[in-house]
Structure 1
Amino acid sequence: MNALFLTQSTSLDMFYRLAGALREPLALDKIGFYATSSMDYEGFLKQTPEIESGSYSLLKEWEIIEQASGKSPDLEYIKNRENEIGDPGLWSAIVADRWLYQGKNSSFRQDYSRRYTHEELLSILEQGIKSIERFFDEVKPDVVFSFICVTFGEYLAYLIAKRRGIPFLNLRPTRIKDYVILGESIFEPSELIKEAFERYERGNGKASVAEEARRYLDFVTKGHAMYEGVIPPSAKAPAVVMSKKSIFTKASKKLKNTKDSFQGRYKHDNQYPGSLGPLLYQGVLNPRRAKQVNAMLSPGYMTEDKLKNTEYVFYPLHKEPEVTLLVYSRAYLNQIEVVRNFAANIPVGMKLVVKEHPASVGWRSQGFYKKLLEIPNVVMADPSIVSKTLIKHSSLVAIIAGSIGFEALLLKRPVVSLGNCPFNILPDTMIRKVESLEGLGLAIQELLEGYTYDEKAVLDYVAANMECGVQVSLYSKLLGKRGVYSLGGEGGVDADIERLAEYAVRRVRELTSDSSAGAAQSYI
């Protein structure tokens, strides 16, 4: 069997370890890695030089960008490939990639400035299709692994795998404790979860899993619904302001490598943040902006005491950019207009209470919030208030597709969603996905008047995720993210890789039979 791993910056280390753990149980022969972020790759290469020993096939995203540089796009070729592999189009692959579609500072600040021209993006798209299809021809994968989907390469690889009939497994959190799943596409909701949910609805689930789901629901009711990897609420920017001496020392070291960004090895890497960018924004500018925004908004913040005496709909802002908007719900990229639409469709006398995403504190300009507050019935919540409090006092929760919607369902509040989220499969007496904004007002009215809590459906959904997933510390251990909520988990990174590998073997065998596992795929 051959396997291809689509990695993103530091997830290369996780997938490399996973590939090693899968080599024997899946009898892996050829192994390929798609890598992004040359800076992260260099760090990984120093620790793991054997990745370039010739034993693995490699495709580096920054080399695709370099090969596309200065070339005119072949529109006829792109349109032909779009007809073959599009969904229905291919531009969605560009939109999915924040480092192409948004500004160069989008990794640490909301940045809509244009980085590439239309023609440059088309050239990158063309080169990406050609390079990735050649990579598939070289590796001849029987299965493709990926992690969420935030790069144009991963999006294109999914479309190519789908066209060629190659099983695709996308690693992502369920937002229930520390359970993750390997879904069969880059989109939500997952067919895997839908099928398991329907089975539990029919009474064909596992009793032990159903009992665990009950314990989880009891815990959420009494405690909280935070899941592994989430950022706890705060009024402060995610990065702490450093001392002037620390900033000067680090800046001096960074300046020595500035030429790499413009002339050297990072020149064509669209994910390279620059030598000083992260230090400047995360260490100084974002914390300063957070203080300025807080000073501007705090006099009008909705506090918990005010919430108790206000009839309102709660809308939690999404972090921008993120996969929920760019892939799952790309019709709703403009959150100011989303808020405007929700505010225009709630009952007379109600307010729309908007809360900032914890990871976006310090990211957005004061102008963003001023535009929100120009909408007459919109108010901002104190960002340090936990979501459970905002949900508990609300009449309804309005979302694009965020996990706060699921927490609201657990806490017996009706939810209106605009985008594609995994829990849209729950009964429409609890959550209503609005297919057209023309029907938004009616959906809100019907839920407010006819909401019915279905505990069995909630338990069935939780149990389906637990049965179909596996427990690992994806963000806090496997990806090494700091400042995120962690459940601790059993063992260290090696134990998590072992559990993830056992689960991956199960999922691969569910999608491919042993007799056909090594068979050649149909290549176009």
Structure 2
Amino acid sequence: MAKPRILIQLEGYFNVGVARYLQDNLDCDIYALVDINKQIKKFFLQQQFVNFKKVWYLRDHLMKLNTEPNLEYLASFEKKYKINLWLIAHMDRILLPYNYFRCYHRYSREEILQIAERLCKLYEDMFDEVNPDFIILRTTDNFQGELLLQLSHARKVTVLMPSHSRLGRRCMISSNVDIIDNFDELFKSSNDASLKTFEELHNLLQEYKKQVYDLLVNHGVNTAYQKLKAGLYYLFKVCNNEYRQYYANFGRTRTKILIQETKLVIKKIIREYFVNKNLKRDFDKNSKFVYYPLHLNPERSTLHAAPFYVNQLEVITNIAKSLPVEYKLYVKEHPSQLFAEWRSISYYKYLMNLPNVELLHPAVSNDELLKYCSLVITTAGTAGLEAAYYNKPSIVLADTIYSSVLPSVYRLRSYEDLPNAIRTSLEKKVEISDLTRYTKCVFDNTFEYDIVGIDTFQVRRIPNSFYIPDVEMPYDEIINMINDMKDVWTKVGEAFVQKICGKSK
């Protein structure tokens, strides 16, 4: 049997350890696609930790957009692979200004198509040369990642992507984000585990929620001094002419950054005052209500998982139109929206002016809302799964790990179906046996891996990296950091080997 050819995407250092494990424990050829800036490129040019057969540096292909896009080639690419390039572009929080609150450059149609063309050609050339059997990807959250994922599927390359299972610290490796491959069949064949109470089951979600919180607020870059130090490093060590040649950094001059960040600080103060003064901090537990927790914006779970439901004002308006007359809609602001300078005041006022909608402060207990609501509606969030653990039905607007197997979850396909979906869901009951089987099935097909913990570890070891993910470090310090993560990347590497060996049989 020929040695498997594995292409691995690298945007940091942890997967370098994973690649080393594969090299040491599997007879294979390993190739790498590295997405880092020039400072970090020095490490990959120098390193001998992993013997990559070949390395491609993605950013080398995305500098200086100064040519006309080849529309004939792009149209041919779309037709050949059945990939919608504009849909992928609209998922990117940098390229489209409505997706991101820090906008330094408004990308033209020609610039976006140039980026698409260069990525398409790079990926096609790479796949033609390597013809990989497997590709190891990180969770997609940008244009280049989503395009690589979709092209991998179109070229019949087996995708191996680690992601959260939304239960405890369990991680899965699958062909896409937020799924377990063949989960429907696995769920049907799963034996019922011993029954637990709803309270015991929903406690399993708490570790995952804690992980997400830690990722946002517990990276060790908390003090004003640390933030100032990181900002000065960025302005004077990173933000130069060469840095701005990469498309994601267009327009990021020191002057613009200082002006923009100052404006954002002022906006945050004004918006936070409005939030604290006007959003309700309590709710009527005796009223009939449907609960919609706002998604963080920008966020992958809307931009990528549900690209046609990104506009949450539109989503909420349509829910409000579809409610039975005796119900209200309670909308709660996401607690972590404060890290994105909150939403505009006009956004909040629009929601407050909807007559059957009440807008709740982020301090209102999510657990209490889940406990007293009749139904949860979410675009693609964990709230839909949490609802089941609180014995409540839910409606989701995208495919999720739980939506295809839990009978209490309604997958909405069209706004026109929403009134009927709400009335149907309000009559549903959650069966504890379904939840127990679901929980057992997830645990049987995942492994223990603290994804957030390893991110936090790296952030604390790399100076200023919470704000600058591509900070240069001495070579020996990088190797020491990778070795210090060995126990974790060994566990992840073992999971990849099991997947690869299982597919290769």
| Aligned equivalent of 1:522 | none
Q: Is the 8 A contact 1:95 1:101 kept in 2?
A: yes
| Aligned equivalent of 1:302 | 280
Q: Sequence identity, in percent?
A: 21
**Shift in Å at residue 82 of structure 1?**
0.9
Task: Output the amino acid matched with 1:220.
Answer: H
In the alignment of these two chains, the number of paired residues is: 479
**Shift in Å at residue 275 of structure 1?**
7.4
**Shift in Å at residue 237 of structure 1?**
12
Alignment of 1:69-468 (within 5 A): 69-87=65-83, 89-102=84-97, 110=101, 115-186=106-177, 188-200=178-190, 203=191, 210=193, 214=196, 218=200, 220=202, 224=206, 226-227=208-209, 229-231=211-213, 243=224, 252-257=232-237, 260=240, 263-270=241-248, 274=252, 289-304=267-282, 306-361=283-338, 362-428=341-407, 430-448=408-426, 450-468=427-445
| Aligned equivalent of 1:63 | 60
Deviations 1:29-77 (CA, angstroms, capped at 9, x unpaired): 2x22223341xx634744983169984523333222226x111111111
CA distance in 2, matches of 1:480, 1:83: 43
Deviations 1:482-502 (CA, angstroms, capped at 9, x unpaired): 799xxxxxx973222111111
Pick closer, same or farther for the CA change 1:181–1:189 going to 2, 3 Å. Answer: closer
SS in 2 for 1:73: coil
SS in 2 for 1:308: coil
Task: Output the amino acid matched with 2:15.
Answer: F
SS in 2 for 1:401: coil
| Aligned equivalent of 1:512 | 504
Q: Is the 8 A contact 2:393 2:409 kept in 1?
A: yes
Deviations 1:222-266 (CA, angstroms, capped at 9, x unpaired): 9946446312799x99998855x7776665554434761xx2244
CA distance in 1, matches of 2:237, 2:41: 19
Q: Is the 8 A contact 2:164 2:171 kept in 1?
A: yes
CA distance in 1, matches of 2:7, 2:250: 24
Pick closer, same or farther for the CA change 1:92–1:392 going to 2, 3 Å. Answer: same
| Aligned equivalent of 2:477 | none
Deviations 1:93-116 (CA, angstroms, capped at 9, x unpaired): 32233222347xx6xx53578721
Unaligned runs of 5+ in 1: 485-490, 514-524
Q: Is the 8 A contact 1:233 1:384 kept in 2?
A: no
Unaligned runs of 5+ in 2: 461-465, 467-482
CA distance in 1, matches of 2:157, 2:365: 43
**Shift in Å at residue 447 of structure 1?**
1.6
Alignment of 1:18-37 (within 5 A): 18-29=18-29, 31-37=30-36
CA distance in 2, matches of 1:101, 1:424: 29
**Shift in Å at residue 311 of structure 1?**
2.6
CA distance in 2, matches of 1:433, 1:122: 33
Match for residue 5 of structure 1 among 1, 5, 8: 8
Deviations 1:399-422 (CA, angstroms, capped at 9, x unpaired): 111011111111111101122222
Task: Output the amino acid matched with 2:151.
Answer: I
Q: Is the 8 A contact 1:34 1:60 kept in 2?
A: yes
CA distance in 1, matches of 2:385, 2:103: 29
Deviations 1:426-455 (CA, angstroms, capped at 9, x unpaired): 344x1111111111011111221x211111
Q: Is the 8 A contact 2:198 2:391 kept in 1?
A: no
CA distance in 2, matches of 1:70, 1:229: 42
Q: Is the 8 A contact 2:384 2:394 kept in 1?
A: yes
CA distance in 1, matches of 2:219, 2:320: 29
Pick closer, same or farther for the CA change 1:21–1:366 going to 2, 3 Å. Answer: same
Task: Output the amino acid matched with 1:268.
Answer: Y
- Note the aligned Cα RMSD (angstroms): 3.6
TM-score with structure 1 setting the length: 0.80
TM-score with structure 2 setting the length: 0.83
CA distance in 1, matches of 2:56, 2:267: 39
**Shift in Å at residue 328 of structure 1?**
1.5
CA distance in 2, matches of 1:6, 1:248: 32
SS in 1 for 2:56: strand
CA distance in 1, matches of 2:259, 2:499: 41
Task: Output the amino acid matched with 2:74.
Answer: I
Q: Is the 8 A contact 1:400 1:419 kept in 2?
A: yes
Pick closer, same or farther for the CA change 1:227–1:272 going to 2, 3 Å. Answer: farther
SS in 2 for 1:413: coil
Pick closer, same or farther for the CA change 1:303–1:242 going to 2, 3 Å. Answer: same
SS in 1 for 2:398: coil
Pick closer, same or farther for the CA change 1:23–1:215 going to 2, 3 Å. Answer: farther
